[in-house]
Amino acid sequence: MASERRTIIRTLLFFVAALLSVEAGFSASPQSSASIGKARATTPPNVILMMADDLGIGDVGCYGHSEIPTPHLDSIAAQGVRMTQFYSSAPVCTPSRFSLLTGMLPNRSRDRLLDALYYADENDLKRGLHHGEEILAQRLKSKGYATALIGKWHLGHGKAFLPIYHGFDYFLGHTGGAIDFWTHRWGYIPDWYRNDELIEQKGYTTDLIADEAVSWIQANSRKPFFLYIPFNAPHVARGWDPKKKDPRLESRVPDEREFVTELQAPEEAIAKFRWIKDPKRRVYAAMVSRMDDAVGRILQAVQQSGLAPVTLIAFLSDNGGDPGWGGSSKPFRGGKTHYWEGGIRVPCLMRLPGHIPAGSISHQVAANLDIAPTVATLAGLSVPAQPVDGVDIGPSLFQGRWIERELFFWNGKTAGAFRSGRWKLVEMPLVAGQPAETGLYDLETDALESRDFASVYPARLKELQAKYAQVKQKLASLPAAR
């Protein structure tokens, strides 16, 4: 009963703040997200941040694609906002996750986390998120939030880099990039943790993540919380064939030739898509569907706990879909690892009752870099000491105000992109191993990047190249990890 009364009180306080913000927030003089945070200082919102792994924008129903039904993801859009020009700071896992949690470009990371950390690389076993690189969980924890990460970390392998040393009170999940969904190992290497202990658990990873998230929500409804749920679906899995067992395996760096790389889903989930002829696409569809079911269970737990009115829910993908493993970023050009739109423009859905108008569509240019500063402002946190490349997009989400943005992408080598308004500069080798080629695209008239305007607008090309070079020079001069 006491728990129910506390939940009711929190809900009533939220509605009072919501009524005040609706009166001013959608009038001629709207509130900023900072003032919303002040108005709700006694009841800051819960935050549930969910992220898919390699989910292309072409595989989410509310973005106009019906092959793979995603009713629960679609419900977030129906009750909140669907963002059409939302970007990941990188077209691969690790750097994208760094930006999401820090609000910084991955080029600022001490270990230059510009590509996916990899178990088979001995150097990568020593790299990751360092102390002093403050993330959103640490900032919210200082504000009294309960914090948890349930799912994929991928910001450092092994105990030294675990989430519980970076502001998360609780962790269940894995540290590597591509574990087996059934054995929860990277090949033969155990990689399923509860806090700082390796554990054995039976079940399909997506289901286990949902089970734990539901339980955690139910157990932590009495205080504001930040729950980060990075699914490892629909990323390809790294299994291992016991027939290839070599007694020397435990004492040396893994060899990929000993592993089995495949998409994995329960048989009953795959059976729902028996009509899809491509076997990879069929299993991929099953993985996405199973993840959507997991999202539905999490949304139901929020609703049943009476927390829906006081909970910001966000869902996005870490990068574009991987066409080699069933994913789709259609209609955009390219996919995972590319700096064309298909690699970095990703689905993003958010809801916050009373603040984000239901069923809205936002064409605001934004990025995963913006999530941390937006949530921090909403929670009433001060400006952090470390540099922040993202911005608070609350004024756009809550009031529909347009925010001018320039977005920078660079892998630290020969590939990257720079977006300024309608124009986008892309540096990408058209063929792997070849020198990068430069293209200029008008995303307002050609979001599919089918026509290169470099020779048509040389002055515009030169302007973007100069800005791009300036940012690269600044980031390249940052001190390396000590």
pLDDT tens for each residue of the chain, 482 residues long: 444 444 434 433 333 333 333 322 222 233 344 443 343 335 789 999 999 999 999 999 999 999 999 999 999 999 999 999 999 999 999 999 999 999 999 999 999 999 999 887 888 889 999 998 999 999 999 999 999 999 999 999 978 899 999 999 999 999 998 999 999 998 888 999 999 999 999 999 999 999 999 999 999 998 999 999 999 999 999 887 766 655 445 544 556 667 889 999 999 999 999 999 999 999 999 999 999 999 999 999 999 999 999 999 999 999 999 999 999 999 999 999 999 999 999 999 999 999 999 999 999 999 999 999 999 999 999 877 788 999 999 999 999 999 999 999 999 888 999 999 999 999 988 777 778 889 999 999 999 999 999 999 999 999 999 999 999 999 888 765 44
The reported pTM is 0.88
Nearest 5°: the CA angle 322, 175, 387 is 85
How buried is 35 (Cβ within 10 angstroms: 0-12 exposed, 13-18 middle, 19+ buried)?
A: middle
Per the annotation, the verdict on 154 as an active-site residue is yes
pLDDT at 32: 44
- Report the SS3 class of residue 1: coil
Q: Where are the alpha helices (DSSP H) in 174-317?
A: 205-219, 267-271, 279-304
Q: Cα separation of 341 and 326, whole Å?
A: 18
pLDDT at 428: 87
Candidates 93, 157, 166, 174; catalytic one: 93
> What domains sit in the chain, N to C, each tagged with a CATH number?
31-403 (3.40.720.10), 406-482 (3.30.1120.10)
- Report the SS3 class of residue 103: coil
Per the annotation, the verdict on 93 as an active-site residue is yes
* Dihedral pair phi/psi, residue 226, rounded to 5°: -120, 115
Six token digits for residue 408 = 């920078």
State the DSSP H helix or E strand holding residue 470, giving kind and residue range, or none if neither. helix 458-476
Candidates 154, 157, 166, 174; catalytic one: 154
